Structure 1
Amino acid sequence: MSSRPARTAGKHGPRPDDHVIVLFGATGDLAKRKLLPGLFHLARAGLMPSRYRIVGSAPAAEALGTEEFRKHAREAVSEFGSARPEGPAWREFEDALSFGAADPDDTGPLLAAVHEAERAVGGSPRRLFHLAVPPKAFPSVVDELGSTGLAEGGRLIVEKPFGTDLASARALDATIHAVFDESRVFRIDHFLGKESVDNILALRFANGLFEPVWNRNHISHVQIDVPEQLTIEGRAGFFEGTGTFRDMIVTHLFQILGFVAMEPPATLTARSLRQEKDKVFAALRPLDPAHVVRGQYEGYRDEPGVDPHSDTETFVALRVELDNWRWAGVPFYLRSGKALGQGRHMVTLGFREPALRMFPLTTQDTAEGRHNALVIDFDDPGRITTRFLAKEPGPEMRLGEAEMVFAYTDCFTTAHALEGYERLLLDAMLGDQSLFTSSDGIERLWEVSAPLLHDPPPVQSYAPGSWGPESVHRLIRPYRWYLPEER
C-alpha cells in the first residue's frame, strides 16, 4: 500500500490484471443502477482486464440462471447505462456473465460458478468481491468467503453504512479483519470517485496561486453543502434506522472535509493520502449538539413505513471545528437533507476581508460582510467559481460582484470520463486504496459523533422545497449559506 500498483495501459488508461469479480446482491437495485452499467462502461472504454468474468450471486430464493442474469444485465444497462447493450462490445461483456447462488448452508453453486469462471479466464486471476447487500448480511457473506477459502488473496468492496456508531463499526471491522486484512478491504464512497473531488487535490497542491492562502490566516469559514430534492422515495425501512446524519454526513461529507482540509501529502500514493486524511479526522473536535440543527420535512411521518412519532432527521446542518495549526478557529459548516430547494454538491471557502477598508460600505455590505469566495461544484462534471469584487463602470468608486469560472465541459472532453462507481471499481481492481476509507478513519468519525448520537437535539419541521429549518441561518452567523445563490 506504500505506492500505487503497476498498471498495464488500456485503451484510455490503466488496465488491471485478469479478474473474476463476484457481485453479491447482483439482483438488487445498486447492481442494476450502478454496478452492471458501470462495469460495461469500463469494458467499452478498454479499462477492464484483458480476461475477466463476472459472477452474480444472491440467496437461493432470489437466484437466477446464467441466461436470466444476462437478460437482467441487458435490461439494467439499457435503462441506466451510458451506451446501448449491443454490438461486439456487449456480446463480449454478456459472455463474461454467469450466476451462482449462495446461502450460508449451501455455498456449492457459488463455488462451482467461481471455479468455472477462473477456468474460463485461465492462469491465476485475481478475485474481487463486492458486497452490494444490506449491512446485516455482511457478516454471513464474509464468513462464507472465509470458510470456503474463496477469500484467500481476494479483495473486498464494502458498501456503506460502515456501522451506525463506534461499537457497531468496531464489530464490523473485527468481522471483516478476521477474513480480510486491511490492505484488501475497500470501503466504497461514490462521492470520492468523482472527477471533481480529485480536482480539489489538483487545485490545492498543483497551484501556487491557492495553496499559500489555504489556511486560517486567509479563510474565514468553509461550507460543504449537499442538498437533495428527492424525498426518501419509499425507503422507510432503511431511512428510519439511519437518518441523514449517518447516511450522508459520516459517510460522504466528512470524507470531502478530509480532502479539503488535509495537509499536503508527500506523494499521491494511497498510504500518503489516507494518512493525511486520517490526520484531519484525528483533529476533529467531538461534535457539540448545541451546534447542530436537525430537521424533518413536513409529510415525512405520513410516508409508508414511517413511525407516526418518528424523530428521524431528514435534514442536518452542523458546525465542525479542527484542532490543528492550519485550521484552528475556522468553522466548517456541513449541511445535507431531503426534499430541499435544489440538488447540489458544493464546497465554498469564504476568504477574510482585507484589513484596510478604503472602499465605502453599502447597507448590504454592512449586513452580510463582503467576502471573496472560492466555490467548488463537485457534481459531475464539475466547475470552480472564484467570486471577487471589481469596480463598476462610472465616475464613482462603486464595487460590484464578479466571477471567474472554470467548467470541466468547457475545458476538457468528458467523453471518457468515469462516474464515481466506475472509477472506484477500476481502482479496486488495481488495488489502489487512495479513494477508499480506512478502518481507523471511520472509527474516529464515529468516535467524534458520539455526543450527537447520545444527545441529539429534537427535529424541527421544514417545508418541502425550502432550505431546511430557519435556525440554520442562526447556526452559520455571521456568515450566510452560499445556497441558494442569491445576490
Structure 2
Amino acid sequence: MVARVIPVDPFDLVIFGATGDLARRKILPALCRRFGEGQMPEGARIIGAARSEMSRDDFIEMVSQAFDEFLGAQAPDAAQRAAFFERLDYVAIDAMGDDGWTTLAGQMREDVVRAFYFSVAPSLFGPLAANLGKFRMITPQTRIVVEKPFGNDLQTARALNHTLAEFFDETQIYRIDHYLGKETVQNLMAVRFANIFFEPLWNARFVDHVQITVAETVGVGGRGPYYDKSGAMRDMVQNHLMQLLCLMAMEPPYKFDPDAVRDEKLKVIHALDPVAPADVVRGQYAAGPETASFADEVENANTATESYIALKVGISNWRWKGTPFYLRTGKRLRSRVSEIAVAFRDPPHSIFGEDAPWKANLLVIRLQPDEGMTLKVMIKEPGPGGMRLKNVALDMSFAEALGDDLHIPDAYERLIMDVIRGNQTLFMRGDEVEAAWAWTDPIIAAWQGSADKPAMYDPGSSGPDEALKLIHMDNRSWREIR
C-alpha cells in the first residue's frame, strides 16, 4: 500500500537550536524524509540558526553526520542528500542579543509561509519572540513551534503564554507534543469516530476501566539534571499521557477541526477529579548489575524525584463517572511499550454457567513498538464435548494490514508538515496547557509537603510493588509489561 503524499506550499523554516540534539536526531531527519517523499515544493528552504560560528558547508557536514548517526540503514543516499542540502543554509545568531538577526531577516521572503522552530530551552522562548518582532520578521503567515516543557507549573505556563501572546496570535503558536504526531495516536480518533459499533459501548455503563501505559527500558541518561527537576509527572503525565487520556475520553467534536477537537479535550481536563494521595504511586529505579541507579544518573544521592508514576484518575461527567483510568509510566522497565487497554464489563448474566472460564472483552491499542490493535473476545473452543469457552485475540498489525512496504512517518514528519499547512489539530492550545497544569500542580504540591520518598524498584521490572497494590485494591490488575 502506498501512502498518499500531498505537497505543502513553499516555506522558509528557521530552526533555532539547529546544532542541538533534538534538531540533529529528529527535526532534520524528518525534513529530509519528507523531502524524499516529494512533499517539499521547489520553493522550500530550511535555515539552521544557533550560537555556533560555522559556515554553511560546516552545517551541511554536521547534518550529514547526524543522518549517519541516527538513521543508520535508513539514511538517505548520496543523491538524495545532495538534493536536500541545496535547501539548507545557516546563520550564527545570538538569541539574547542582536548578532545575526539582520542577516536572518535579510533571508526571509515575503510571499511564503514563515515557520520558526524554537528547539531551545524555554528560557529562550521570550527573547526569540521579542527579536522576531524587533527585526520585523512576523507576518500574517508566520508560525512558531515551541517544544515542551511548556512551563514547569501553572504559573510559569501562564507567563510563557503571556510572553508569546505579546507577539503572536494563538493561531500562530504551535505547542508541539510529538505523541500526538504518532500514527496510532491519530488512529484513536479514527477508531472512535469512524466506527459506529464502538460509540454505544464507549461509556461507564460498558467500560469497566481503562489502562494507559508508557514504559521505557532506558534510564534518564544525559538528561539527569533536567529530569531531577522534572520527574515523570511533569515530563510524561502532564503532557503525553494527558493527551492520550483526552483522546480516549473526549466527546465527538462537531467536525474534525482544530478548535473543535481541542475544545472537547479541554472539557475532559476540566472534568478530571482531584487525585487523592492514596491514588498515586511514585517509584525510582535502583542500581542493576550493569546499570546505575536513578540517584547516580541524576547525580543527587538525596533525590526525591520519581522515575515512575502510577495514578488512578476519575472523570466526573455523564460519560465516564464511575470508570477509573489507570495511568502509569516509567523508565528502566522490563520492555519498551506504549498501549491503551479498554477493559469492558462482564455481561450481566452468563448463560454458560457460573463455572465458565470467563474473561472480559478487551480492546488494546498498541502505540509502540508494534503499532496495531487487538480485540479479545470469547468464542467456543473447537471440538466435541460441550460448550467450552476460550478467549482469543482478533489481532491487526498495521504493518501486516497495510503492507510491509508502507512507511509509517515519524511523528515529527507529520507535525512539521502540519505547521506549514497551518493545521493546529494535533497541537496544544494555550488554555489546554494551563488546564493540565492546574490539575497537575496540587498532586506535585502534596509530595513537596510530605517526607515520603518514591518506592524503589529493580531495573527490568514492571515498577514498584506499591503500583500493583494501587490497582489490586479495586480487584483489578495491570496488564503485563512484556
TM-score category (smaller protein): over 0.9
* 3-state DSSP of counterpart to 1:342: coil
8 Å Cα contact 1:45-1:416 kept in structure 2: no
Rounded to whole Å, the distance in 1 between the matches of 2:233 and 2:193 is 30
Q: CA 1:396–1:443 in structure 2 vs 1: closer, same or farther (change >3 Å)?
A: same
Deviation, 1:191, is: 0.8
Deviation, 1:256, is: 0.8
Deviation, 1:113, is: 3.5
Deviation, 1:264, is: 0.9
The answer to which of 275-284 and 22-31 deviates more is: 275-284
* Corresponding residue of 1:449: 440
2:88 is equivalent to residue 101 of structure 1:
no
Aligned match of 2:25 in 16, 30, 33?
33
The answer to which of 340-349 and 93-102 deviates more is: 93-102
Counterpart code for 2:87: A
* 3-state DSSP of counterpart to 2:39: coil
Aligned match of 2:131 in 124, 132, 144?
144
The answer to which of 104-113 and 253-262 deviates more is: 104-113
The answer to which of 30-39 and 471-480 deviates more is: 471-480
Correspondence list, 1:58-77, <5 A: 58-59=50-51, 62-77=52-67
* 3-state DSSP of counterpart to 2:368: coil
Correspondence list, 1:409-420, <5 A: 409-413=399-403, 415-420=406-411
Counterpart code for 1:328: K
Q: CA 1:323–1:49 in structure 2 vs 1: closer, same or farther (change >3 Å)?
A: farther
2:162 is equivalent to residue 174 of structure 1:
yes
Aligned match of 1:288 in 273, 276, 280?
276
8 Å Cα contact 2:280-2:309 kept in structure 1: yes
Rounded to whole Å, the distance in 1 between the matches of 2:178 and 2:294 is 29
8 Å Cα contact 2:315-2:321 kept in structure 1: yes
Superposed CA offset, 1:32-64 (max 9, x none): 1101100000111111233111111112xx232
The runs of 5 or more residues in structure 2 that have no matched partner are 288-292
2:458 is equivalent to residue 463 of structure 1:
yes
8 Å Cα contact 2:283-2:309 kept in structure 1: yes
The answer to which of 457-466 and 436-445 deviates more is: 457-466
Superposed CA offset, 1:91-133 (max 9, x none): 2210111111221454342431452353xxxx61211011111
* 3-state DSSP of counterpart to 2:263: helix
* Corresponding residue of 1:313: 306
2:190 is equivalent to residue 202 of structure 1:
yes
8 Å Cα contact 2:343-2:362 kept in structure 1: yes
Aligned match of 2:347 in 347, 354, 357?
354
Rounded to whole Å, the distance in 2 between the matches of 1:187 and 1:105 is 22
> Once the two structures are aligned, what percentage of the paired residues are identical?
36
Correspondence list, 1:371-382, <5 A: 371-379=360-368, 382=371
Counterpart code for 1:107: D
2:201 is equivalent to residue 216 of structure 1:
no
Correspondence list, 1:66-465, <5 A: 66-81=56-71, 83-104=74-95, 106-116=97-107, 118=109, 124-153=111-140, 154-299=142-287, 300-361=293-354, 370-379=359-368, 382-393=371-382, 394-413=384-403, 415-456=406-447, 458-465=453-460
* 3-state DSSP of counterpart to 1:345: strand
Rounded to whole Å, the distance in 2 between the matches of 1:267 and 1:157 is 25
Q: CA 1:305–1:406 in structure 2 vs 1: closer, same or farther (change >3 Å)?
A: closer
Q: Spell out structure 1 runs of 4+ moving beyond 4 A.
A: 360-363
* Corresponding residue of 1:57: 49
Deviation, 1:202, is: 1.1
The answer to which of 76-85 and 276-285 deviates more is: 76-85
8 Å Cα contact 1:286-1:450 kept in structure 2: no
Deviation, 1:373, is: 0.5
The answer to which of 193-202 and 219-228 deviates more is: 193-202
Deviation, 1:417, is: 2.8
Counterpart code for 2:432: G
* 3-state DSSP of counterpart to 2:229: coil
8 Å Cα contact 2:94-2:100 kept in structure 1: no
* Corresponding residue of 2:290: none
Rounded to whole Å, the distance in 1 between the matches of 2:268 and 2:258 is 16
Superposed CA offset, 1:60-105 (max 9, x none): xx23211111111111122223743434432221011111122145
The runs of 5 or more residues in structure 1 that have no matched partner are 1-10
Deviation, 1:433, is: 0.3
What is the number of equivalent residue pairs in this alignment? 465
RMSD: 1.9
8 Å Cα contact 2:361-2:376 kept in structure 1: yes
Rounded to whole Å, the distance in 2 between the matches of 1:469 and 1:105 is 44
* 3-state DSSP of counterpart to 1:385: strand
Rounded to whole Å, the distance in 1 between the matches of 2:113 and 2:294 is 47
